[in-house]
Every structure is written in C-alpha cells, then in structure tokens.
Amino acid sequence: MSLKTVEWKDNAVVMIDQTKLPNVLEYVTFTDFNQVADAIRTLVVRGAPAIGVSGAFGLALAALQNNTSEKNELIEFLENAKKILFETRPTAVNLAWGLDKIMQVATDANTVDEIRKNVVETAKKMAEEDVQINMTMGKNGSELFNENDTIMTHCNAGALATVGYGTALGVIRATKDSGKNIKVIATETRPIQQGSRLTAFELKHDGIDVSLIPDTAVGYTMANNLVNKIVVGADRILRTGHVYNKIGTYQVATMAKQHNIPFYVAAPLSTFDMKNNPEDVVIEQRKASEVTGLGDKKTAPDDINVINPAFDMTPPELISGIITEKGIAKPPFEESIKKLF
C-alpha cells in the first residue's frame, strides 16, 4: 500500500508533512482553511494533484468554519477563502480546478446546510477519484514499458504528489505490478530535492529498485546507456502539448532527444489547461535561500543575485507521449489531446 498524502478525517484535513521527509514521517491536522493555504505555500503538501485536492479540502473546511445561516454570506466567505487558497501557488492548474469544482457545488446548493454537506462530500469524492484515476493511468502507461527497462524520473510525481499511487510513479508501480522487472533512476531535483527526499523515499518504501543521481548526471547516464525511457509528471499541460513541470524537466527532455530516448509525461485530465497559451502561464519564482544554502548550511556568498524558478516548459516536439486516464496522446498533440476531451 502506497502512502496516503492527504485525507479528510473527522471534519479535519490530515496530511503528511513533506518538509520533514525522508527523516521523519509526521502527519499534521488542520481545521482552518488558512492553515491549509500555509501548508500549500510552504510545501508541507506539494505536487499538482495533491494541491488540487488539498485546495478542495481547504474550501470544505472554510464552509464548516463559518456558522452563518445566510447562503449569501457563506458564499462570500467561501469566495474569499478560495482567493487565499488560489494565491498560494500559481503554476499547477489542478489547484484552480479543485477550487472551482467546490465553489460550483456551493453555489448550486439551496441552503447553508446543503452547502456544508455537499462541499465536504464532493471534496472527499475528489480524493477517492484521484487514486482511481492514477491507477487507470498507471495501467494505460504500463504498456509503454518493457521487461528490464531502466526508467528515469524527475522531481516527485508519486503517491506524495497525489492523494495516493502517483502519476509518473503510478505508471512505474503499475509496470512493476504487471510482472515486468524494471529499475528506476531518480534525479535529486535541486533546490528542494523532491527526487532524493520523496521519490527515492517512496520507491524504497514500496520495494522498487531505485538509484539516485545528482541532476548534473542526467547527460552521463543517458550517454552511457544507463537509462532507456523517461516518465515525469506535469503541473499544467496546454492544448498544444506544452508541458509545465518541475524546473529541470526541459533539460532532461532535451538531453533525451539528443540520445533518442523516449520521453513520456503522465498526468490526469485535471492537469490540462485547454484555455491558455504559453505567454499566459505564470512560472512561480521561489525564494533565494533555497538556492544559497543546503539545509542550514550556507553554500553561496552573501547578497548574491539568484534566479529560482520552480517550473519550466517542455515543448511538444520533445515529448513522445502523454499518458492519461483516458488513454495515451501521441503527436501531433493538438489533435490527440482534443480527442481525450
């Protein structure tokens, strides 16, 4: 059984504190939507599908926190809570997807009691569906992988980035469960080290053969035939097949093209943004201290200028296929993505 990242328990949101991994597996409990917003902002919970469901749970908490008997007042309170939750992280489209879905359920309800009941039920259902979707996606994607493949992944698109099972790591889990013998190479993923702290941790936890490499060894492992396929997750996919994912994904995809290695992306339909164009997507810029130090240790001179984008964009021409719960989209993506919807 893979880890349960976030869940609704006794009218509270319980999540793994991912900032403490891999050293401590600690769960935190929240009863205030502001705490959930802080948790998303500070990466206690991260990964596009996980923040989508956490946002939905946050809004459900907000509905329980406010005890007005007026529908209009409750909707106004929820709109404000939605804004606070939405502004925590700008790039992953799943957050807006989760919040919009809950807001719609709230506005459709007739009374405050109905709002409170329906938003909690919907958010819980979204969490359950997330695991089911990942399992279906995993099964679909497993057909692309063969006995004795060594698969590279970047960042963490695993159980810890979703409610459970994972997207890219869900594909890896399903491939292993189908009886194929596979190995995984996980990139460290500086500066937050989701690869070493989270991917290596959860694959080891599940008994999957994983080797950790520094990000700087991506070219070396490809040039020396140590990897023959790649699968990563996504924070946002445009209708054109432009994929936004953890910073460094573009480097991995470019290097894969150079070495003729198939590069796959695994993501649920809730990660697709069918409206916007590349120039509309905001890339989150994070604080300098993530780059100027390792833990408490300073590794750069004082007052150095830092550029610290959290995500980058991989263009469609570098992508071999996009794995979803509805099937695998292949190039040309503009056509194949349209068919998924």
Name the segment binding ligand MRU (CB under 6 A); options: 59-67, 105-113, 114-122, 230-238: 230-238
Q: Do residues 163 and 130 make contact, with C-beta atoms less than 8 angstroms apart?
A: yes
Reported as type and span, the H/E element at residue 55 is helix 48-65
Does residue 248 touch ligand MRU according to CB under 6 A?
Answer: no
Among 255, 281, 310, 337, binds ligand MRU (CB under 6 A): 310
Residue nearest to ligand MRU (CB): 233
Q: How far is the CB of 73 from ligand MRU (least distance, A)?
A: 34
Residues of span 76-135 touching ligand MRU by CB under 6 A: 92
Q: Could you give the CA distance from residue 338 to residue 170 in angstroms, rounded to a whole number?
A: 24
Residues of span 126-185 touching ligand MRU by CB under 6 A: 155, 157, 161-162, 167
Q: Could you give the CA distance from residue 37 to residue 31 in angstroms, rounded to a whole number?
A: 12
Q: Which is nearer to ligand MRU, 91 or 118 (CB)?
A: 91
Angular region, 240: left φ>0, alpha ψ -120 to 50, beta rest: alpha
Catalytic residue (choose from 235, 296, 302, 312): 235
Does residue 236 touch ligand MRU according to CB under 6 A?
Answer: no
- Is the preceding peptide bond at 191 cis, omega within 30 degrees of 0? yes
Does residue 55 touch ligand MRU according to CB under 6 A?
Answer: no
Task: With CA atoms as reference, report the closest residue to 172 among 197, 137, 201, 219.
Answer: 137
Q: How far is the CB of 316 from ligand MRU (least distance, A)?
A: 18
Residue 159 burial (C-beta neighbours within 10 Å; 0-12, 13-18, 19+): buried
Interaction pattern, residues 260-299, with ligand MRU; x per rule: CB under 6 A = ----------------------------------------
Residues of span 179-208 touching ligand MRU by CB under 6 A: 194
Show the tokens assigned to 206. Answer: 């599940």
Q: Count CB atoms within 10 A of the CB of residue 262.
A: 16
SS3 letters across 226-270: CCCEEEECCCEEECCCCEEEECCHHHHHHHHHHCCCCEEEECCHH
Name the segment binding ligand MRU (CB under 6 A); options: 142-150, 215-223, 231-239, 318-326: 231-239
Name the segment binding ligand MRU (CB under 6 A); options: 41-49, 292-300, 315-323, 328-336: 41-49
Task: With CA atoms as reference, report the closest residue to 16 among 163, 146, 121.
Answer: 163
Does residue 6 touch ligand MRU according to CB under 6 A?
Answer: no
Q: How far is the CB of 70 from ligand MRU (least distance, A)?
A: 37
Q: How far is the CB of 266 from ligand MRU (least distance, A)?
A: 8
Among 7, 188, 202, 235, binds ligand MRU (CB under 6 A): 235
Reported as type and span, the H/E element at residue 202 is helix 200-205
Q: Could you give the CA distance from residue 83 to residue 243 in angstroms, rounded to a whole number?
A: 25
Q: Which is nearer to ligand MRU, 45 or 59 (CB)?
A: 45
Q: How far is the CB of 189 from ligand MRU (least distance, A)?
A: 8
Task: With CA atoms as reference, report the closest residue to 63 among 135, 111, 4, 24.
Answer: 111
User: In 288-329, where does DSSP find H-type helix?
Assistant: 289-292
| 296 is known as an active-site residue | no
Name the segment binding ligand MRU (CB under 6 A); options: 46-54, 137-145, 214-222, 295-303: 46-54
Catalytic residues: 235
Residues of the shown chain interacting with ligand MRU in the complex, contacts defined by CB under 6 A: 46-49, 92, 155, 157, 161-162, 167, 194, 233-235, 245-246, 310
